[in-house]
Amino acid sequence: MAQFKLGLNIDNVAEKPPLELAPGWEAAEVPITELVLPYDGEEVWRKKRDEIRSWRQPPFTAASHWLKDERITGNDPTPFAELERQAEQHCRRLAELGTGMVAGIWGNFFAVPDGYSRTKATDQAIEYCGMINKYAQKHGIVIALEPTANPRTVFPKYSDGLAFAKHLGMSNIRVMADLNYFVAVDEPFEDIAIDPSYCVHVHIQGDTYQPNYGSSTGKILHIFRVLRDAGYQRTVSSAHPWISTVPGPFNYHSESARTLQFLVELRDRVFAE
């Protein structure tokens, strides 16, 4: 049976130098606002792109941090022309880092502010998704909406995001799952299996930090079993802040090795059942 890939976010590179990453990770996720330089021109981007390539990280299969302070919905959204400029640029630049990449968009960017019409916010979200779908198609990017368990958003829960994406019916708009957001609203991981074809990326964490920090083994085993049974074969990203799990200063090489070993053992256990 084909297995999903184990990946991690290549972010906060000043604290976690990419060249110190332990070997063996199968995929990587790039933060757009940190490394894809949304506010810089093409010459600056080409230098950064070449630097990223020189790190020889695991294959980039996903991207995060689609926006920074911009607003898609509400009374005072970011001008649509600027949102479109960034969307085109993001998709084009991500395609230079990897093929068939998934770009996650945090659900909190689709806010429904207090006193604002949910219908109007939903209409704004639909217009925005129609625009980004155009560029995603052109550059071979899959957009993954990330519900954040926030009731003041267009799609609070995973099941809401799934319903919204299916209502859109757009070829390159799908949804992603984050373990913490499921737990926050007691949503069953089994909702991923409602339509497995729509889940294109997954985030996991431990107790705030790495999956092997704290007591999250049971939750991770649960979501791994759901993904196995759903036939999920894309990336599961270890997405979180990092901390030293042993006495002494933080060492990215050894901590990324410990986390990878922990996740490989859990995945092997699930697929051996």
Calculate the CA 90 to chain-centre distance.
14
pTM, to two decimals: 0.97
* Arithmetic mean of pLDDT, 67-95: 97
Question: pLDDT band for position 110 (50/70/90)?
Answer: very high
For 201-240, how does the pLDDT look when each residue is reduced to its tens digit (9 = 90+)?
Answer: 999 999 999 999 999 999 999 999 999 999 999 999 999 9
Residue pair 260/26 in contact (Cβ under 8 Å)? The answer is: no
Give me the percent of the chain exceeding a pLDDT of 90: 100
For 142-178, how does the pLDDT look when each residue is reduced to its tens digit (9 = 90+)?
Answer: 999 999 999 999 999 999 999 999 999 999 999 999 9
Question: pLDDT band for position 267 (50/70/90)?
Answer: very high
Q: Strand pairing of 173-178 and 102-106? A: unpaired
Options 3.20.20.150, 3.40.630.40, 3.10.129.10, 3.40.640.10; CATH for 5-271 is 3.20.20.150
Q: Which two tokens stand for residue 35?
A: 């490394």
Q: What is the DSSP secondary-structure string of 60-84? A: EEEEE---SS--SSSSSPPPHHHHH
Q: What are phi and psi of 175, to 5 degrees?
A: -145, 155
pLDDT given for residue 172 in this prediction: 98
> Does residue 37 come out as left (phi exceeding 0), alpha (psi in the -120 to 50 range) or beta?
left
Amino acid at 187: E
pLDDT given for residue 186 in this prediction: 98
pLDDT given for residue 236 in this prediction: 98
| Residues contacting 54, CB < 8 A, separation 6+ | none
Q: CA 35 to CA 83: how far, in whole Å?
A: 18
For 16-42, how does the pLDDT look when each residue is reduced to its tens digit (9 = 90+)?
Answer: 999 999 999 999 999 999 999 999 999
Question: pLDDT band for position 1 (50/70/90)?
Answer: confident
Average pLDDT, the chain: 97
* Arithmetic mean of pLDDT, 89-109: 98
* Arithmetic mean of pLDDT, 59-70: 97
- Cβ count near 26 (within 10 Å): 17
Residue pair 175/158 in contact (Cβ under 8 Å)? The answer is: yes
Residue at token pair 């972010």: 11
Amino acid at 259: T
Q: Is the dihedral of CA 244, 247, 253, 259 positive or negative?
A: negative
Question: pLDDT band for position 253 (50/70/90)?
Answer: very high
